[in-house]
Structure formats: C-alpha cells, structure tokens
Amino acid sequence: MKPPVALIALAALALLSGCAVEPWVKPYERGRLADPEMQLAGRPLMDKHREHVHVVREAARGATGVQGGGCGCN
Amino acid sequence: MAATDWLRRAARVLGGLLALHPAGPAGAAEVPADDAEAMIHVYDGGGVRAVGPALLVRKSLADRVSASASYYVDAVSNASIDVVTTASPFKETRNEVGLGLDYAVRDALVTASFSRSTEPDYTASSLGLDVAQDVFGGMTSVSMGFSRGRDDVGKVGDPGFADQATHWQYRVGATQVLTPTWLMSANLEAIADEGLLGSPYRAARVFGAAVPERLPRTRSSRALKLRAIGAVGEVSSVRAEYRYYWDTWALRGHTVEFGGARRLGDGWLAEATLRLHSQNSALFYSDNATAETEYITRNRQLSAFRDWGVGAKLSTDVPHLPATWKLRATMGYEFKRFDFQDFTDLRTGTLYAHNAHLLQINVSAPF
C-alpha cells in the first residue's frame, strides 16, 4: 500500500511546530555585526568592478551576491 | 513585451505571498540609504587596459521605495596575447547604464533592476527581480532572484554578421547570524545560456593552423558559494569564502578568498584580501588540436589555469569639509598573477603567464 505521504508530512509539521527554536541572538546583541569591518559587501561600485574583472577573465561565474549587469564578456 | 509581462505577474504573486507572511519581531525591512558614489577604476594586465569612471546615485522616493541609477564606462585598449598574435591592437568603449527600484514591504525587500551595456559590436540588456526576506526574528535572511539577459552580437567590419545570446539566471541565498560576532551565508546560482557564446573574432588552432572557434550554442552552469565573517577583538574581523563552479562544458572551478579588516580610529578602515582561483579546461579546449572535432576553442578563459591576487583597501572620511557635508573616500589596489597551464605564447613557444593590476578610487556621499 502506498504510504499516505501528505498525512505523514502534515503530522511531521505539527510535531515540528511544537519544538520551534527561538532566535538565540537577540536584536540588541547584534550591534557588533553592524560595525564597518563586519560587512560582507563593500561599496557597490567597487564590488561590481572587481566582479566584472573576474567574470571576464575566469570561466567561473555566479553566486557572488553581487548584482551583475549584462556585458560583452564573451 | 513578454519579459515585462512575466515580471509583472511575478511581482503580483510575490506581493500576495509577502502580504500573507506575518511580520517578524525584528521589525520591517528598510530600503538602502540615500547615497551618491563616484569611482575611477583601472585594470591593467596582459596587454589590456580598461579604465573608466563609474557613477551611482540612490534616492528614496517615499518611505518604502528607493530608486537607483548607475553609469559605468570601460575604455578598453586591447593588445592582449590573442590580439597581438592574430589581429591588430584596438581601442573601444563600453558604456553601461543601470536602473533599480527597491521596495520594502514588511520584512522583505523587493528589487527590480535593468541594465544595458553597449559596445560598437555588442549590446547586452538584462532585467532582474530579487527578493530578500528576514525570517526567524531577523537572524536569517533568505533571498531569491531571477535575471534574463539578451545580447546582440555584431562584428566590426562585417555589417552582414548578426547573432544573439540569451541568458537566464536563477539564484537563492541565505545569510545566518550564528553568534553575536559571527555570521555566514550560502548562495547558489544556476545560469543557462543559449546562442553565440564565443567571439566572432577568436581563432582556434588545429594542426597548427588558425581556424574560427566553434562553441556549443548552449551552456548550463551552477555555482555554490559559502562565506563566513567573524569579529576578532573590538575593532577587527576575519572572513573566508569558497566557491565551487561546474558546468555542462565540463569546466570546474574552485575560488577561495580570505580577508581581514581593522578599524584604525578617526574613521579609518583598512582591509586586506588574498584570493586564489583554479580551474580545469573545457571539454573542447585545445592549445593546438590534433584532430578535427565539432567544437574547438583556444579561448584561454576556458583553459586550465590558476590565478591569485593580493589586495588592500583603505577608507576614511574626508576631513576639513563644511559641517553639513560628509564624504567617504576609499582606495583599493590588487595585484594579480595568471599562470596558464595549457596555453602557449605563440611568440616565445612557452606557457603564457601575466601579471595584472587593479586600482579603484571611490568617493561616496550619503545625503
């Protein structure tokens, strides 16, 4: 007999909601993460230029977190 | 236009979903702050020099909406190894205009973007839609996005030549606060390309003779990037990044980057990076093919090589300005080295290698 997948999924969801994890770093504890040396992204134009240099000269591309535009990179 | 209809439909669905999502305790998302930026950028390496200004202005139109416009110029003088061995050095200018609109709704930020890049023989347009949503009390931010690009390719000196390329990009990402001093992020992007994916000028070598390169008209790639950044002491940080890239042309790439940053007081910030990249070659890459095959390329970007770069950046608030003015200046320099493992310099018969320099001078003014 085919297992009632939807029923199992619903039951699992109901069980999981009972053990929800609380956010363990409170908003007032995140001050250090806002400091200038803690930013993953730098200045948008500088990041874009560096990313453009790499896309033009290497085969690897994507997943950089930098918004890219079209370019004649071929 | 079909793409505009698609975006409109997607925005409607997205708006509906976000309206259903209960607001988290971390408060609403905010649009990026108003800012004007100007930059001079230089890339100089391997016989290619690309120089230009770039501008970016961002202004909020209402409490929850921010618009941005950018202009980017690449004045290229090209005497690269390809050019000096098979053609004549040339100069050309690439102009790129970008427009963006950010909309903050509850805990989410929706961004629509458009860009258009023009060169004498190449025009590229791209439309994108991204959404970032804070969840889990603001400890996690998830994002997803889509872009569609269309390129029109011409050939200088051949008015009869016209071809196209289309690009689809799908991306998802998550940033997670781990502790009060550490956070990490993961990004995954899938790219599908179709059309002319090479250059109408580039030559390959078969039995020592130059032939036009022949590339497949489709390419599908994936990239996964992991990043972590952590505070060290009161004023410093360290970060590490790794990206794995793979595609249907059998290319695999590994990119690792390490960085550190330190506040030096009086608004000064110093940063340092070390970046390493290595890749194998595409299935149909050959320095000098010894068999006739359907596809053949000698594009060194698709060959096996390693490159590394070491860079530094220094930022400071510009002093002695009127009290209502605030200007932040940043200067960045990176030295890069490329070592090709299967690309011969036809002038010397040895494997090709070159150095490169990257220089950026940026001034930004929040207003």
Interface of B with A in 116-135 (CB under 8 A): 116-117, 119, 121-122, 124-126, 128, 130
The answer as to whether A69 is a domain residue is no
Residue B280 reports pLDDT greater than 80: yes
User: In whole angstroms, what is the distance from residue B250 CA to residue B282 CA?
Assistant: 5
Q: What is the pLDDT of residue B265?
A: 86
Give pLDDT tens digits for B206-241: 999 999 999 999 999 999 999 999 999 999 999 999
What is the structure's pLDDT at B21? Answer: 41
Residue B285's pLDDT is 98
When pLDDT is averaged across residues B141-163 and rounded to a whole number, the result is 95
pLDDT tens digits for B83-119?
A: 888 888 999 999 999 999 999 999 999 999 999 999 9
Least CA distance to B361: which residue of chain A? Answer: A46
Q: Tell which residue, B39, B16, B50, has the closest CA to residue B362.
A: B39
Parent domain of A34? 5-57
More confident residue, A65 or B233: B233
Biggest CA–CA distance in chain A, Å, is 60
Which whole number is the average pLDDT over B121-132? Answer: 96
Report pLDDT digits (tens) over B75-88. Answer: 999 999 988 888 88
Asked if residue A47 belongs to a domain, the reply is yes
Domains of chain B: 2-366 (2.40.160.40)
Q: Predicted ipTM?
A: 0.91
CB spacing of A37 vs B236 below 8 angstroms: yes
Query: Is the residue at A52 inside a domain?
Result: yes
Q: For residues A42 and A31, what is the distance between their CA atoms, to the nearest angstrom?
A: 18
Label residues B169-190 b or e (16+ Cβ within 10 Å = b): bebebbbbbeebbbbbbebbbe
Work out the average pLDDT over B149-172. 96
What is the spatial distance between Cα B30 and Cα A37, in angstroms, rounded to a whole number?
21
Count up the domains in chain A and report the number.
Answer: 1
Contact B324, B364 (CB under 8 A): no
| A62 belongs to a structural domain | no
Query: Closest Cα to residue B172, out of B141, B149, B202?
Result: B141
Average pLDDT over residues B29-43: 95
Q: d(Cα B68, Cα B365) in Å, to the nearest integer?
A: 14
Nearest beta carbon to residue A46 from set B115, B237, B332: B332
In a domain, A20, yes or no: yes
| Measured torsion, CA atoms of residues B362, B126, B213, B244, in degrees rounded to the nearest 10 | 70
A50 found inside a domain: yes
Residues 92-111 of B with CB under 8 A from A: 94, 96, 98, 100, 111
- pLDDT of A20 above 90: no
* pLDDT classification of A21: cutoffs 50, 70, 90: confident
- Judged by DSSP in three states, A27 sits in helix
